[in-house]
């Protein structure tokens, strides 16, 4: 795929000097215009997908968990919409690529889904860490476990948000790895144990 992208870049370097590309190329009777457009489409799609992979690999996992969840939720929603839109035309595009001899590496979409699960797991991990630290601090302060209602409510809402996002990522990716399953179960356990006095609806069953 990187050879294809390099070829496209080299071709564009020549074509960009043309005042009117379409008119100039039309003078060449056998110029493969459709193949050029298909190469552009494939190269642009792969470059965009590769950028998503790069962004997810270096995702900033800096606390607090609330901000991390919000940022990742927005990015996940955006990427999911784009990939869902492409998925609807994937078969057609695949046939087009093959007809022009382009072997597009669709595995990059699997990589994106796996990385989404990985970042989602890190979000769950941080949410759990902050909640347990909050409970621990309350226990130390009060010589036993006791936490005020507002702090408890905010903590449960954060855990619930992390669980909901994890479930959306799980549905998008078509499954979880062992780490995500373990963290989702821990989240569910924390919510079930600490939300008895909350008005939130009960959480769904752990992701398995």
Nearest-CA neighbor of 24 among 32, 15, 37?
A: 15
Q: Residue 197: exposed, middle, or buried by beta-carbon count in 10 A (0-12, 13-18, 19+)?
A: exposed
Max CA separation in the chain (angstroms): 86
* Domain ranges, ordered by start, for the chain: 2-194
Q: What integer pLDDT is reported at residue 204 of this predicted model?
A: 53
Q: Is the CB of residue 42 less than 8 Å from the CB of residue 102?
A: yes
The single-letter DSSP state of residue 63 is S
| CA atoms of 89 and 102, how far apart (whole Å) | 17
Nearest-CA neighbor of 200 among 148, 158, 140?
A: 158
What count of residues does the chain have?
208
Residue reference for tokens 């992979």: 53
Nearest-CA neighbor of 124 among 191, 74, 58?
A: 191
**pLDDT by residue for the chain (208 residues), tens digit each?**
777 777 677 776 667 777 777 777 777 778 778 888 998 899 999 999 999 999 999 999 999 999 999 999 999 999 999 999 999 999 999 999 999 999 999 999 999 999 999 999 999 999 999 998 888 776 666 655 566 777 788 888 999 999 999 999 999 999 989 999 999 999 999 988 865 544 444 555 545 4
Q: What integer pLDDT is reported at residue 207 of this predicted model?
A: 55
- pTM of structure: 0.83
Instruction: Give all strands (DSSP E) within 89-205, no chain letters.
Output: none
**Helix, strand or coil, per DSSP, at residue 201:** coil
């Amino acid at each position: 795929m990187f050879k294809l992208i390099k070829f496209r870049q080299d071709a564009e370097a020549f074509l960009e000097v043309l005042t009117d590309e379409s008119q100039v190329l039309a003078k060449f009777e056998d110029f493969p215009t459709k193949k050029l457009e298909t190469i552009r489409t494939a190269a642009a799609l792969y470059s965009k997908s590769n950028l998503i992979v790069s962004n997810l690999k270096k995702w900033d996992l800096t606390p607090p968990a609330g901000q991390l969840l919000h940022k990742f939720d927005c990015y996940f929603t955006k990427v999911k919409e784009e990939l869902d839109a492409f998925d609807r035309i994937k078969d057609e595009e695949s046939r087009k690529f093959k007809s022009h001899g382009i072997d597009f590496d669709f595995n990059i979409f699997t990589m994106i889904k796996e990385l989404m699960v990985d970042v989602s797991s890190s979000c769950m991990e941080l949410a759990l860490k902050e909640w347990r630290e909050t409970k621990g601090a309350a226990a130390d302060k009060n010589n036993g476990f006791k936490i005020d209602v507002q702090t408890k409510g905010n903590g449960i809402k954060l855990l619930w948000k992390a669980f909901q996002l994890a479930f959306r990522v799980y549905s998008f990716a078509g499954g979880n790895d062992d780490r995500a399953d373990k963290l989702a179960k821990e989240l569910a356990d924390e919510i079930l144990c600490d939300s008895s006095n909350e008005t939130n609806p009960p959480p769904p069953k752990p992701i398995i």
